[in-house]
Amino acid sequence: VYNSAPSWGVAVGDAVGVAEPELSQHLHQHQGQTFSFLGLRVPSPLSLVVNGRRPPGSALAPPRLALSNPSAPPEPA
Protein backbone atom coordinates (compact mmCIF):
# COMPACT_ATOMS: atom_id res chain seq x y z
CA VAL A 1 0.00 0.00 0.00
CA TYR A 2 1.67 3.17 -1.19
CA ASN A 3 1.49 6.42 0.81
CA SER A 4 0.59 4.74 4.09
CA ALA A 5 1.81 6.13 7.39
CA PRO A 6 4.56 4.07 9.08
CA SER A 7 2.30 3.55 12.10
CA TRP A 8 -0.59 2.13 10.03
CA GLY A 9 -1.05 -1.36 8.67
CA VAL A 10 -3.32 -4.35 8.41
CA ALA A 11 -2.99 -7.46 10.54
CA VAL A 12 -3.14 -11.13 9.67
CA GLY A 13 -6.81 -12.09 9.59
CA ASP A 14 -8.11 -8.64 8.60
CA ALA A 15 -10.59 -8.57 5.73
CA VAL A 16 -9.32 -6.11 3.12
CA GLY A 17 -11.28 -4.78 0.14
CA VAL A 18 -9.43 -3.04 -2.69
CA ALA A 19 -11.61 -0.67 -4.73
CA GLU A 20 -9.32 0.09 -7.70
CA PRO A 21 -6.42 -2.39 -7.73
CA GLU A 22 -3.67 -2.14 -10.33
CA LEU A 23 -2.46 -5.65 -11.13
CA SER A 24 0.80 -5.99 -13.06
CA GLN A 25 3.05 -8.85 -14.06
CA HIS A 26 6.72 -8.46 -13.04
CA LEU A 27 9.50 -10.35 -14.76
CA HIS A 28 13.07 -9.85 -13.53
CA GLN A 29 16.33 -11.61 -14.30
CA HIS A 30 19.22 -11.59 -11.87
CA GLN A 31 22.40 -13.66 -11.87
CA GLY A 32 20.99 -16.16 -14.35
CA GLN A 33 17.71 -16.65 -12.50
CA THR A 34 14.29 -15.45 -13.62
CA PHE A 35 11.75 -14.15 -11.13
CA SER A 36 8.13 -13.74 -12.16
CA PHE A 37 5.35 -12.52 -9.89
CA LEU A 38 2.16 -10.50 -9.83
CA GLY A 39 2.10 -7.13 -8.08
CA LEU A 40 -1.01 -5.48 -6.71
CA ARG A 41 -0.56 -1.73 -6.35
CA VAL A 42 -2.84 0.17 -4.01
CA PRO A 43 -2.19 3.93 -4.34
CA SER A 44 -3.49 4.94 -0.91
CA PRO A 45 -4.71 3.30 2.30
CA LEU A 46 -7.78 5.53 2.02
CA SER A 47 -8.88 3.55 -1.06
CA LEU A 48 -9.21 0.37 1.06
CA VAL A 49 -11.94 -1.05 3.23
CA VAL A 50 -10.51 -2.92 6.23
CA ASN A 51 -12.92 -5.06 8.26
CA GLY A 52 -15.87 -3.18 6.76
CA ARG A 53 -14.53 0.32 7.49
CA ARG A 54 -12.42 2.93 5.76
CA PRO A 55 -9.05 3.59 7.45
CA PRO A 56 -8.78 6.89 9.35
CA GLY A 57 -7.10 9.90 7.77
CA SER A 58 -4.08 9.23 9.98
CA ALA A 59 -3.38 6.11 7.87
CA LEU A 60 -2.18 8.39 5.07
CA ALA A 61 1.50 9.34 5.15
CA PRO A 62 2.13 13.05 5.62
CA PRO A 63 3.43 14.90 2.56
CA ARG A 64 7.17 15.57 2.26
CA LEU A 65 8.86 18.13 0.09
CA ALA A 66 12.36 17.52 -1.22
CA LEU A 67 14.12 20.15 -3.31
CA SER A 68 17.30 19.96 -5.30
CA ASN A 69 19.17 22.31 -7.59
CA PRO A 70 21.19 20.37 -10.18
CA SER A 71 23.07 23.52 -11.21
CA ALA A 72 24.24 24.35 -7.67
CA PRO A 73 27.91 23.65 -6.88
CA PRO A 74 28.50 20.57 -4.70
CA GLU A 75 28.71 21.12 -0.96
CA PRO A 76 32.14 20.57 0.63
CA ALA A 77 32.53 17.25 2.39
pLDDT tens per residue across span 2-21: 899 999 999 999 999 998 78
Q: Domain extents for the chain? A: 18-52
Q: pTM above the 0.75 mark?
A: no
pLDDT tens readout for residues 25-63: 999 999 999 999 999 888 889 989 999 999 999 999 988
Residues 6+ positions from 21 with CB-CB distance below 8 Å: 40, 41, 42
Residue 51 near residue 15, CB atoms below 8 Å: yes
To 5 degrees, how large is the angle CA 42–CA 33–CA 41?
A: 5
